[in-house]
A and B are shown apart, each in its own frame.
Chain A
Amino acid sequence: MTAVPQSTGRELTSPPTDGISNLRFSNHSDNLLVSSWDKSVRLYDASANALRGEFMHGGAVLDCCFHDDSSGFTACADHTVRRLVFNHSREDILGRHDAPVRCIEYSYATGQVITGSWDKTLKCWDPRGSSGQERSLIGTYTQPERVYSLSLVGNRLVVATAGRHVNVYDLRNMNQPEQRRESSLKYQTRCVRCYPNGTGYALSSVEGRVAMEFFDLSEAGQSKKYAFKCHRKSEAGRDIVYPVNSIAFHPIYGTFATGGCDGYVNVWDGNNKKRLYQYPKYPTGIAALSFSRDGRLLAVASSYTYEEGDKPHEPDAIFVRSVNEVEVKPKPKMLPNPAT
């Protein structure tokens, strides 16, 4: 990996030994939480390039998120939702699903943990009642299909499932979805992320496409939505299309990065419908992306996502690159574009 040019960013030492399922920066520091198929959850100090802690679970860890800077939550393939306290290397079991837990989010607005599972349910947990499922479980909400991706903004929760269903919830009233939608994209949903300004969400599919959606159901609101193609390669007049595994919004500018199985990370300006930047190719597909709290760092998980089954692939690695403002700052619309 030393051969990788500096432009891909600094590679973290002691990466997970198997596929990286997700990584997230803390909201308070440059700590980075990484979950992996090797059944581990690792806590790195990204700026110091040091491994600060490691937890081993009973199964592949499919997702993780921070609670505060000293604790976090994990979603595990052994059906279990756990809370980790980093300083004391302690782990509590919050509860269990009936199938592997695919994704997990912590809502600062409500202080709840929200998990989505392949058992076609969404569960809300109170992390303070950590002494048993009956006390920590707040509610179970049936979804039309297996949950593939979750995203939160304020009190809004967007749930993307198999079968291209998208449910939009208000966390204050989880009894039924606020909106029931079908994905605008025709193919399986890979990732959904809410805009930081809370007006909508971006949704990516396995077919090199990202849809920009808006919560506002009025005609004017819906007229703004669109979809665009990305992570494709045209060779000799043919297009090769790659899944878009990850979307990460810049916390300050509202622009966003997408990562695909082609190993590229693209930065987009959704308002002006422009691509701002493309980073050099990473050794293998991009499994996950995360901007740090101030948007100065971008963590990139370069990790094979098994889209082509078990095959030889480059080792899994985490790169942390410092983000140049030019790469993420929206460019005014007025600039003449050489491409057109």
Chain B
Amino acid sequence: MSNGQSDPLLQMETTCGSLLYELQIIWDEVGESDAERDRMLLELERECLEVYRRKVDQANRCRAQIRQAIADSEAELAAICSAMGERPVHIRQSDQNLGNLKEELRAILPQIEEMRKRKCDRKNQFVEVLEQIQKLKHELSNSSGYISTTLVVDEADLSLRKLEELQREMLALQNEKSERLKQVLDHLNSLNSLCLVLGMDFKQTVSEVHPSLGDPEGSKNISHDTIQQLAAAIQKLREIKIQRMQRLQDLAMSLLQLWNLMDTPLEEQQVFQKVTCNVAASENEIVEPNMLSIDIITFVEKEVSRLEELKTSKMKELVLKKKSELEDICRKTHLIPETDSSLDIAIEAIESGAVDATYVLEKIEVEIAKVKEEAFSRKDILDKVEKWMVACEEESWLEEYNRDENRYNAGRGAHLTLKRAEKARVLVNKLPTIVDALASKTSSWENERGIEFTYDGVRLLSMLEEYNILRQEKEQERKRQRDQKKLQGQLLAEQEALYGSKPSPMKNQSTKKGPRLSCGGASNRRLSLGGTILQTPKHDMLHSTKATPNTRHAKKNDRLSHDNPTRDDRFQAMSSGRRGLDIAGLPLKPHSLNPTNAHEIELPIMRKPFSPISSTDSSKSKATNILEDLNTKHNEMLQKTLTSNNTSPFTTPSKTISTMDEENRTPKTMAIPMPSTPSTVSVPMLTAITPAPCVPKSMEDEDIEYSFEERRAGFVLPKDHRKSLVQI
């Protein structure tokens, strides 16, 4: 190589020598002076130096340039490394000389190149993460659709640590996002179920909160605001649900009550089974779609109001019915319904809705109970009033009939009228008794209660009084007529004496009528009636017996010889005997005796029934039995003799004991024909209209009856029981 270099130099030296030589020849020829020649040579020398100097400067400058480049590269490398948080691996050791400068430069350049590439990669990573973060943040923070595109990456710090930091941030944000999404979905779910139950449009409800939520596929807005709005919406719907549920349950309750009240058929109930089964359900138990929709509620509401209407109409009906029942009872018992007008008002009030029908119903029920109770206490007297009324009617009919001159003309049905007249006469004879019994009963009733006994609003006692006065007047009238008749009779007799007899039909009539009226003989056929007939009053006789009870028997026996009236008497006697028997519970068998020899036979048999009673009891019971017998008899008389006060004249029973034997021995026979009939033929019953209870009250007061079983068992009522008996 040196050869190669030396060659041009050598060549250059030969050319310079040859040129110098040539210059010498030229100069020799020209003949230049030596001075000139020297100066020429110096110049040449100076010029050559100049060229050298210039070349060196140039080389020097180039070297400096290379050095600068190396330093720059190294600095850049260092910067990149520090930014990326890496150790600057390739920093050149100053002592480590790798050769000349150009080599050095060449070595450093690829390094830089690589570092630059890595840096760029890193930066891209950063940008990506940051973008994500920004997006997430945006999603989470608010709903504004604008996303800022300016991304500022801090070039100075692109270290992995920073990247990791950013990534962590991103993850957190992602988590938050998914959480929110879940929340939103949850909310949407519950919102959906609520909407379903309430029968609302879910999409519409949701779009109202945020338009993005209505889209089933698209992304949902998950900002805080949205969630809060969703929660609020849910809360609102839940409130509506509870409200509706309560409404529905209220309705269901009233439905059930109404059904129960009105016995609604099951088919009708079936329709609302769905509703009524939720009566006791809690808010979250009601999940059935449309269960609480407005439609259902209005449907149920309508049914309830329909039933309600039905109920009020029924109620009204009931009230009216009860009212008519009350009026009916009042009418039947001849009471004047006092509260009539107030009830009318009440019914108007129901119609206008001012008063609850149940209240009115209750009031009427109370009224009815009151009236019923009163009716019960009045029943006895009313029965008697009824009887009295019937008797009065018969009386007036009889009067009318008696006035009819043609009444005995035989014609169709005349025998029936005759019969009726017979009965009516009996009844009329009993009238004073009935009136007085009624009066005494009424006054005792009034005393007991302290109120007036009214009959269709008129005081019964005054009615009776009026009737008595009327009757007396009639009596007087009748007497007057009789006197007149007597006068006529006398006149007739006189005429008779003068002109011979000619029986007057009028006279005949009066004699025929007379005995019937006085003794009620016509009623003999009706003796089977028993009790009622016993009261046929025979004033004169009864008065005497009342005065001297012990003479009665004798008198009666006297009367036995007479034919007609005795029957009546015997009957009376028999009945009293029977009554005594009832009281004492005596067997009836032995008492069917012939009245004429009553004394002889009856005594021994009388004793017999008492024999089973233990010796200690017998005397007492016998005494009481007899006493009762007496008392009842007297009470019977009292009734007959129409004493209005109830106090018995017998205050001390011991006084009357002497009479009892006599009384007990009264003959007991019944002159009732009873054909014995063959057993195979059906026989009509011997029926009679059941007599109203007309047994004197005092009979129950003082006696102690015993059944056969009680006497056999030796059962005796304790003393205190007896006392309580008297009160009854």
B is bound to A: yes
Mark the stretch among A127-135, A230-238, A313-321 that contacts chain B: A230-238
Residue interface bits B691-728, CB-to-A below 8 A is 1, else 0: 10101000010000111111111010100010001001
Shortest CB distance B710–A (Å): 6
Is A206 an interface residue, CB under 8 A from the partner?
yes
B579 near A331 (CB under 8 angstroms)? no
The reply to whether B687 and A309 form a contact with Cβ atoms under 8 Å apart is no
Q: How many angstroms between the C-alpha atoms of A19 and B709 in the bound complex?
A: 10
A274 pairs with B683, CB closer than 8 A: yes
B713 to chain A, nearest CB (A): 5
Q: How far is the CA of A242 from the CA of B579 in the complex (A)?
A: 14
Which of A208, A228, A240 meets B685, CB within 8 Å? A228
A231 CB, nearest partner CB in chain B, Å? 10
| A188 B585 Cβ-Cβ under 8 A | yes
Residues of A within 8 A of B592 (CB): 235, 238-240
Known: A162-B705, A186-B531, A232-B674. A225 touches B711 (CB 8 A): no
- Closest-by-CB residue of A relative to B706 is A162
A9 interface residue, CB < 8 Å from B?
A: no
**Could you tell me the distance between the alpha carbons of A226 and B710 in the complex, rounded to whole angstroms?**
29
* Set of chain A residues within 8 Å of B591, measured between Cβ atoms: 240
Given the complex of chains A and B, what is the CA–CA distance between A185 and B613 in angstroms? 26
Complex Cα distance, B695 from A185, in Å, reads 10
Residues of A within 8 A of B715 (CB): 99-100, 118
Interfacial chain B residues near A184, Cβ < 8 Å: 690-691, 693
In the bound complex, what is the Cα–Cα distance between A243 and B588 (angstroms)? Answer: 8
A-B residue pair count with CB separations less than 8 angstroms: 170
Complex contact B686–A228 (CB within 8 A): yes
CB distance from A26 to the nearest CB of B (A): 24
For B712, what are the chain A residues with a Cβ–Cβ distance below 8 Å?
Answer: 19, 37, 306
The residue on B at minimum CB distance from A278 is B679
The CA of A185 and the CA of B709, in the complex, are separated in Å by: 20
Residue-wise, chain B 205-246 has the 8 Å CB interface mask toward A (1 for contact) of 000000000000000000000000000000000000000000
Q: With an 8 A cutoff between CB atoms, is B684 at the interface?
A: yes
Which residues of the partner chain B approach A232 to less than 8 Å between Cβ atoms?
674
Within 8 A of B (CB), among A93-150: 99-100, 102, 118, 120, 144-146, 148
What total of chain B residues lie within 8 Å of the partner, measured CB to CB? 62
Residue B671 at the chain A interface, CB threshold 8 Å: yes
Would you call A288 an interface residue if the criterion is a C-beta within 8 Å of the partner chain's C-beta atoms?
Answer: no
Min CB distance, B128 to chain A, in Å? 89
> Per-position contact with B for A247-275: 1 when CB-CB < 8 Å, else 0?
00000000000000100000011000111
> In the complex, A278→B610 CA distance in Å?
32
CB of A229 within 8 Å of the partner chain = yes
Contact, CB under 8 Å: B582 / A337: no
Chain A contacts for B691, CB-based, 8 A: 184, 186
Q: Is A89 in the interface zone, CB < 8 Å from B?
A: no
Closest to B610 in A: A309
A40 sits at the interface (CB 8 A): no
User: In the complex the two chains form, is A306's CB within 8 Å of B589's CB?
Assistant: no
Q: How far is the CB of B79 from chain A (nearest CB, A)?
A: 108
* Interface residue tally for chain A (C-beta within 8 Å): 70
- Complexed CA–CA distance, A207 and B579 (Å): 10
Is B681 interfacial (CB-CB < 8 Å)? yes
Q: Which residues of A contact B700 (CB under 8 A)?
A: 163-164
Known contacts A207-B578, A226-B690; A276/B682 CB under 8 A? yes
Distance of A278 Cα from B676 Cα, bound (Å): 11
Interface flag for A339 (CB, 8 Å): yes
Which chain A residue lies CB-closest to B707? A148
Q: Is residue B669 within 8 Å, beta carbon to beta carbon, of the partner chain?
A: yes
Q: Is A211 located at the chain interface by the 8 A CB criterion?
A: yes
User: B589 contacts A242, CB within 8 Å?
Assistant: yes
A144 and B709 alpha carbons, distance in the complex (Å): 19
Interface membership of chain B positions 669-681, coded 1 if the CB is closer than 8 angstroms to chain A and 0 otherwise: 1111111110111
- Decide: A268 and B685 in contact? CB cutoff 8 A: yes
Do the beta carbons of A234 and B674 come within 8 Å of each other? yes
> How many angstroms from the CA of A238 to the CA of B670 in the assembled complex?
5
B17 adjacent to chain A (CB < 8 Å) = no
Q: Residue A339 contacts which of B613, B681, B713, B721 (CB distance < 8 angstroms)?
A: B681
Majority secondary structure of chain A interface residues (helix, strand, loop or mixed): loop
Instruction: Say yes or no: A307-B672 contact (C-beta < 8 A), given A118-B710, A274-B684.
Output: no
Most buried by B among A280, A305, A306: A306
Q: Is residue B608 within 8 Å, beta carbon to beta carbon, of the partner chain?
A: yes
* B416 located at the interface, meaning its Cβ lies under 8 Å from any Cβ of chain A in the complex: no
Determine if A274 and B673 form an interchain contact, defined as CB atoms under 8 angstroms apart.
Answer: no
B329 to chain A, nearest CB (A): 11
The reply to whether the CB of A62 lies closer than 8 angstroms to some CB of chain B is yes
B710 and A306 within 8 A (CB): no
Partner of B608, one of A185, A211, A309, A339: A309
Shortest Cβ distance from residue B311 to the other chain A in the assembled complex, whole angstroms: 26
Could you tell me if B690 and A308 are in contact, using CB atoms closer than 8 angstroms? no
CB of A188 within 8 A of CB of B690, answer: no
User: Complex: how many Å from CA A227 to CA B686?
Assistant: 8
Give chain B residues whose Cβ lies under 8 Å from the Cβ of A120. Answer: 721
* Any B CB within 8 A of the CB of A340: yes
Q: Mark B175-212, 1 if CB is under 8 A from A, else 0.
A: 00000000000000000000000000000000000000
Q: Is B530 in the interface zone, CB < 8 Å from A? A: yes
**B688 within 8 A of partner (CB):** yes
In the complex, what distance in Å separates the CA atom of A229 from the CA atom of B578? 15
Given A118-B710, A227-B688, A242-B588 contact (CB < 8 Å): yes
A277 interface residue per 8 A CB criterion: yes
Residue of B nearest to A59 (CB): B713
Proximity bits, B592-630, A CB within 8 Å = 1, else 0: 111000000000000011111100000000000000000
Q: What's the Cα separation between A308 and B606 when bound, in Å?
A: 10
A21 beta carbon closer than 8 Å to chain B: yes
B554 within 8 A of A: no
CB closest chain-B residue, reference A270: B685
Q: Closest CB of chain B to A312's CB: distance in Å?
A: 12
A301 at the A/B interface (Cβ < 8 Å)?
A: no
Q: Is B40 at the interface (CB under 8 A from chain A)?
A: no
Identify which of B582, B671, B682 contacts A274 (C-beta below 8 A): B682
> Is B653 interfacial (CB-CB < 8 Å)?
no
- Across-interface contacts of B683 in A (CB, < 8 A): 274-275, 339
Do the beta carbons of B587 and A188 come within 8 Å of each other? Answer: no
Contact B705 A188 (CB under 8 A): yes
Known contacts being A208-B588, A238-B670, A273-B684, is A229 close to B528, with CB within 8 Å? Answer: yes
Q: A62-B709, A186-B530 are in contact. Are A229 and B686 (CB under 8 A)?
A: yes
**Interface presence of B689 (CB below 8 A):** yes
Write out the residue numbers on chain A whose beta carbons fall within 8 Å of the beta carbon of B695: 164, 186
Cα–Cα, bound, A322→B687 (Å): 29
Contacts of B589 in A (CB 8 A): 240-242, 261, 307-308
* A111 CA / B593 CA spacing, docked (Å): 51
Find the A residue at minimum CB distance from B678: A278
Q: Does A338 contact B (CB under 8 A)?
A: yes
Please report the C-alpha to C-alpha distance between residue A228 and residue B687 in the assembled complex, in whole angstroms. Answer: 4
- How distant is B286 from chain A, measured CB to nearest CB, in Å? 41
A23 at interface, CB cutoff 8 A: no
**How far, in Å, is A90 (CB) from chain B's closest CB?**
27
21 contacts between A and B (CB under 8 A): A162-B705, A163-B728, A164-B695, A180-B376, A186-B531, A188-B705, A188-B707, A206-B581, A207-B581, A227-B688, A229-B674, A238-B670, A239-B669, A239-B674, A261-B587, A268-B685, A269-B682, A274-B683, A305-B708, A309-B610, A331-B682
Footprint of B on A, CB under 8 Å?
A: 19, 21, 37, 60, 62, 77, 99-100, 102, 118, 120, 144-146, 148, 162-164, 180, 182-188, 190, 206-208, 211, 225-230, 232, 234-235, 237-243, 261, 268-269, 273-280, 305-311, 331, 337-340
Residues of B within 8 A of A (CB): 376, 528, 530-531, 578-579, 581-582, 585, 587-594, 608-613, 669-677, 679-691, 693, 695, 700, 705-713, 715, 717, 721, 725, 728
Excluding A185-B690, A339-B684, 19 further A-B contacts by CB distance (< 8 Å) are: A19-B712, A100-B713, A102-B709, A145-B728, A163-B700, A180-B376, A186-B691, A188-B582, A188-B585, A206-B585, A226-B688, A228-B685, A229-B686, A240-B588, A240-B592, A273-B684, A308-B609, A309-B611, A331-B682
